[in-house]
């Protein structure tokens, strides 16, 4: 039986358009042994099975209104809803975007990422990314598994600053990826948070999943109906400096979930300054002193990927790279120090 005889398509799918489309399928009969990801790949061949699995993990595909797994076996009466993304760009276009290179050799380079720039092309952002800048800057970059992420081994959120590693060769990419997979890479972030934690340090062990209402957000969650809607997530923190109503903390992620540090700090009641998505507030000099400018000191989350420790992928020697603070971060720290010592 053909796919169109197995389900009812309740909305047309403009496969060739550049806009994402929300689609609903009503399955007419049980499909023995037919996994959800395999069925959708056959139904929408433009979407690779890997892309479908990624959408399922992101919560962009649901069955009967609930998150599910790629291995879910289709049943008659099921209602499958999915958001089909627009076609990916065919290539990464080189763009002369300044990069702050803090280390480089023939195998890898490290950049100090600025705020407001995403790492690679995605829906709605096919230019102006770190990947576009890297293609312009470097004569050689690794290919990796995704042609739209040349050289990119790991990522930082759009408004998170700090150190990012880039692979120039496929061998370097593979060996660095293994280190990230085995969690032997040690990452240290610095964040300015609201309030002062009572403890000088602690470990936050709380699973994270897609927010049940706002799909662009993540939240600490639990397992429901034997379906893993949350993933294991662990963050260790240490208080570096205490101020009046704020603190500078070092964050050591032990896992790498999306928005993990931001979600975890909000979860314990100390959201990151400027992180309005997770309860943080944008603050100004006037907010802190009662005088001065009302312009925000930090217009985004005060989170900086400060240090990364790893083994060189080719020479295997231990390496540690630090990224200097961006000026707004340093300005806010200095102001908080001065107010706390007054």
pLDDT given for residue 310 in this prediction: 98
List C-alpha distances in Å: 122 to 70, 130, 133, 179, 203: 22, 12, 15, 25, 33
pLDDT given for residue 15 in this prediction: 42
Last residue in a domain, options 181, 205, 237: 181
| Close Cβ partners of 175 (under 8 Å, ≥ 6 residues apart) | 313, 314
pLDDT given for residue 8 in this prediction: 58
| Together in a domain, 212 and 247 | yes
| Together in a domain, 115 and 74 | no
| Together in a domain, 152 and 198 | no
Q: What is the pTM of this model?
A: 0.73
| Together in a domain, 37 and 106 | no
| Together in a domain, 214 and 237 | yes
Q: Is residue 145 part of a domain?
A: yes
Residue 121, domain CATH: 3.30.2350.10
Positions of the chain with pLDDT under 50: 1-5, 11-17, 225-226
Reply yes or no on whether 157 is catalytic: yes
Calpha distance 275→150 (Å, rounded): 29
Q: Which of 78, 157, 170, 228 is catalytic?
A: 157
pLDDT given for residue 261 in this prediction: 98
| Together in a domain, 226 and 154 | no
pLDDT given for residue 146 in this prediction: 73
Residue 34, domain CATH: 3.10.290.10
Residue range of the domain that includes 75: 3-84
pLDDT given for residue 1 in this prediction: 39
Can you give the three-state secondary structure of the chain, one letter per residue? CCHHHHEEECCCCCCCCCCCEEEEEEECCCCCCCEHHHHHHHHCCCCCHHHHHHHHHHCCEEECCECCCCCCECCCCCEEEEEECCCCCCCCCCCCCCCCEEEECCCEEEEEECCCCCCCCECCECCCCHHHHHHHHCCCCCCCCCCCCCCECCCCCCCCEEEEEEECCHHHHHHHHHHHHCCCCEEEEEEEEECCCCCCEEEEECCEEECCCCCCCEEECCCECCECCCECCEEEEEEEEECCCEEEEEEEECCCCCCHHHHHHHHCCCCECCCHHHCCCCCEHHHHHCCCCCCECCCCCCEEEEEEEEECCCCCCEEEEECCCCHHHHHHHHHHHHHHHC
| Together in a domain, 143 and 210 | no
Q: Is residue 76 part of a domain?
A: yes
Terminal CA-to-CA distance of the chain, rounded, Å? Answer: 77
| Together in a domain, 207 and 289 | yes
Last residue in a domain, options 132, 164, 181: 181
* Burial category of 282 from C-beta neighbours within 10 Å (exposed 0-12, middle 13-18, buried 19 and up): middle
Calpha distance 296→192 (Å, rounded): 14
pLDDT given for residue 31 in this prediction: 64
| Together in a domain, 336 and 224 | yes
169-193 pLDDT, tens per residue?
988 998 998 899 889 999 999 999 9
Last residue in a domain, options 181, 205, 231: 181
Structure tokens at 71: 């291995």
For residue 176, the tally of other CB atoms under 10 A from its CB is 23
| Close Cβ partners of 34 (under 8 Å, ≥ 6 residues apart) | 73, 74
Q: Is residue 323 part of a domain?
A: no
The total number of structural domains that make up the chain: 3
| Together in a domain, 336 and 206 | yes
């Amino acid at each position: 039986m053909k796919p169109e005889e197995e389900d009812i398509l309740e909305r047309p799918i403009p496969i060739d358009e550049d806009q994402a489309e929300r689609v609903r399928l009503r399955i007419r009969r049980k499909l023995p042994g037919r996994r959800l990801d395999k069925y959708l790949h056959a139904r929408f061949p433009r979407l690779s099975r890997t892309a479908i699995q990624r959408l399922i993990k992101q919560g962009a595909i649901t069955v009967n209104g609930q998150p599910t797994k790629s291995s879910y076996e289709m049943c008659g009466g099921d209602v499958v809803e999915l958001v089909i993304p627009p076609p990916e760009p065919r290539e990464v276009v080189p763009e002369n975007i300044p990069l702050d290179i803090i280390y480089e050799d023939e195998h890898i380079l490290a950049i100090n990422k600025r705020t407001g720039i995403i790492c690679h092309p995605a829906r709605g952002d096919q230019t102006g990314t770190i990947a576009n800048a890297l293609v312009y800057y470097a004569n050689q970059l690794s290919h990796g598994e995704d042609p739209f992420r040349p050289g990119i081994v790991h990522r930082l959120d759009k408004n998170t600053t700090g150190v990012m590693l880039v692979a120039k060769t496929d061998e370097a990419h593979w060996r660095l990826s293994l280190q990230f997979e085995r969690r032997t890479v040690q990452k240290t972030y610095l964040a300015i948070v609201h309030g002062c934690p009572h403890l000088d340090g602690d470990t936050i062990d709380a699973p994270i999943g897609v927010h049940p209402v706002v799909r662009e957000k993540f939240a600490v969650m639990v397992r429901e109906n034997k379906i893993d809607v949350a993933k294991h997530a662990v963050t260790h923190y240490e208080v570096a400096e205490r101020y009046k109503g704020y603190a500078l903390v070092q964050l050591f992620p032990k896992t790498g979930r999306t928005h993990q540090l931001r979600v975890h700090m909000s979860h314990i009641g100390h959201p990151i300054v400027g992180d309005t998505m997770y309860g943080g507030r944008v603050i100004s000099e006037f907010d802190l002193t009662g005088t001065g400018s009302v312009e925000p000191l930090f217009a985004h989350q005060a989170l900086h990927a400060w240090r990364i420790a790893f083994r060189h992928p080719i020479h295997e020697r231990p390496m540690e790279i630090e990224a200097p603070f961006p000026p707004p971060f340093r300005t806010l720290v200095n102001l908080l120090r001065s107010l706390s010592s007054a």
